[in-house]
Amino acid sequence: MSETSFDTACDNLSGLVDAVQFERLRWDRNEGPLLTKLVTWARDAFEEHGEFELTEEGSVTDRKRFVLKVHTKRTIGIAFEVVDGLAVIEPDLADRSIYTLTTREAITAPMHEFHEEWVKAALQEIFSRVQPLDSAA
């Protein structure tokens, strides 16, 4: 019996005994670490840019949401999550901000394909969508 099939058998029995507990443990083992990587890479992307700050606001266990501040001004919200095998970075409006987004469409990649440079490219795409609220049509 291979290690993989034993792990699968353990997962099957665990899910049978307590599906809710198993799902929490499965998420902690699989998606949780990937979500942590997404957030870490996003924070690391701003390391050389002291005028940028990600402030956690509105997060829950499986979805981390931040307000991006630039020069201490609230600009936009950015949420990170791992859903159905995809890494997801989703822009959003930030309360009390004078900025809006041309689109709030999420940027996604299969979990096995996302990496630090993908996170930077996704953030760059999101930045291109930011505009002052008074110029929104």
Question: Can you give the pLDDT of all 137 residues of the chain as single tens digits?
Answer: 677 899 899 999 999 999 999 989 988 888 899 999 999 999 999 999 999 999 999 999 999 999 999 999 999 999 999 998 899 999 999 999 999 999 999 999 998 888 999 999 999 999 999 999 886 55
| pLDDT score at 129 | 98
- Return d(Cα 86, Cα 62) in angstroms, integer: 13
Do the beta carbons of residue 55 and residue 69 sit within 8 Å? Answer: yes
Residue 51 main-chain phi, psi, to 5 deg: -80, -5
| pLDDT score at 1 | 62
- Return d(Cα 107, Cα 136) in angstroms, integer: 22
- Return d(Cα 88, Cα 111) in angstroms, integer: 9
SS3 content of the chain, % helix, strand, coil (to 5): 45, 30, 25
| pLDDT score at 135 | 64
Q: Which residues contact 116 (CB under 8 A, 6 or more apart)?
A: 41, 44, 45
| pLDDT score at 136 | 53
| pLDDT score at 27 | 87
Give, for 36, the enclosing helix (H) or strand (E). helix 31-45
